[in-house]
Amino acid sequence: MSDEAPTPPPTPNDPAMPRPPRRPRYRGKNPRHFHEKYKERDPSADPETFAKVLASGKTPAGTHRPIMVPEILEALRVQPGETVVDCTLGYGGHARELLAAVQPGGRLIGLDQDPLELPKTEARLRALDFPPESLVVHRMNFAGLAALLQRESPGGAEAILADFGLSSMQIDNPARGFTFKVDAPLDMRMNPSRGLSAAALLAKTPAAELARWLAEHSDEPHAEPLAAAIARAKPETSAALAKLVRETLAGLGKRLKPEDIEAAIPRVFQAIRIAVNEEFSALDAFLRQLPGCLKPGGRVAVLTFHSGEDRRVKHAFRDGERTGLYSAVNDEVIRASREEQRANPRSAPAKLRWAIRS
């Protein structure tokens, strides 16, 4: 037996103690880039930082704030025991409230085509301790809703919600290529595993078709010169596309104000994103089949974020009311309150329309 004293265990300040890896540092007082905002992206780990970002009127990075929740609940009037569909789960903010409203005995069917965000959202909703059978999740585009309901709820649903806004998680993450505020490869696909990226699509699309996208998808007044410049340059990154828009408009000789030039950039990105994801084709298919997806007396609420979407929804609802498919539609579009717009500026362009199945 040794007379030597046993070696004491290492203490936290012991140099021999392995240290956990340090968080990445960033310049300045506040983080600027998405990868630096790790405190915002995990509200459970740092609720104080999360709350400060919310209080400042911003959306924490990697999250999403649901828009017009009370107005949507009022429009849908969901009751316990009903079946409700959320066609665009996103971060799950609306779904959380709808799932609670159909309890006990009700069911939420959630759809989303984003393979990166959907598993995270389903995990958040499952963690709320609702009965497992009350939540059904499918990774798919809402254009296939009618076929899905034939399997999941053959008689249709009592309520359907479709929020066509781009989720903040997609906007904030530069790797997705949706934003012009950070340089990244031009992708813009809701489902990165399907179809062509924005860069690949721009490389093969003629100027005339690009001009049509810009005019029809975002009401861009300078569609033709911008389309010609894009077709020539074939930009591959978000920064290159934004720079191209600025230089093209500045060179038109029309003395455009700097703010007018900057306002054109999100319109161009919007038009290309709609084309990449074939959003209008999916929306038209959804609106055609929508009445058959609702039970008699069922309600639908739709959130749109630009004029091209809103026109389609308005005309479909009014035509449906005229032909007897819908018993009522809202005449005046509903917008987020001033308080909500101040707290969440991304709610400002949102328009809410609803209809009731005859």
| pLDDT for the residue 36 | 46
CA atoms of 351 and 86, how far apart (whole Å): 17
Task: Please provide residue 61's backbone torsions phi and psi, each rounded to the nearest 5 degrees.
Answer: -55, 135
Structure-block tokens of residue 57: 């009127």
Domains of the chain: 69-168+280-357 (3.40.50.150), 182-277 (1.10.150.170)
Burial (CB count within 10 angstroms: exposed 0-12, middle 13-18, buried 19+), residue 255? exposed
Question: Residue with structure tokens 């739709």?
Answer: 302
pLDDT at 122: 97
- The pLDDT of residue 114: 92
Query: Residue 101: which residues within 8 A CB-CB, separation 6 or more?
Result: 73, 78, 79, 80, 84
Dig out the tokens for 72 from the structure.
């949507």
For the chain, the distance separating the N- and C-terminal CA atoms, rounded to the nearest angstrom, is 91
What residue type is assigned to position 116 of the chain? L
**Per-residue pLDDT for the chain (358 aa), expressed as one digit of tens each?**
445 555 555 555 555 555 655 555 656 555 554 444 455 556 655 656 555 555 555 555 556 699 999 999 999 999 999 999 999 999 999 999 999 999 999 999 999 999 999 999 999 999 999 999 999 999 999 999 999 999 999 999 999 999 997 777 667 777 787 888 888 999 999 999 899 999 999 999 999 999 999 999 999 999 999 999 999 999 999 999 999 999 999 999 888 999 999 999 999 999 999 999 999 999 999 999 999 999 999 999 999 999 999 999 999 999 999 999 999 999 899 999 999 999 999 899 999 999 999 9
Instruction: Choose among 75, 158, 94: nearest CA to 354.
Output: 75
pLDDT of residue 303: 97
For residue 241, the one-letter residue type is L
Q: Token digits for 350?
A: 């949102």
Q: Output the pLDDT for position 1.
A: 44
Q: What is the pLDDT of residue 43?
A: 60
23: left (phi over 0), alpha (psi -120 to 50) or beta: beta
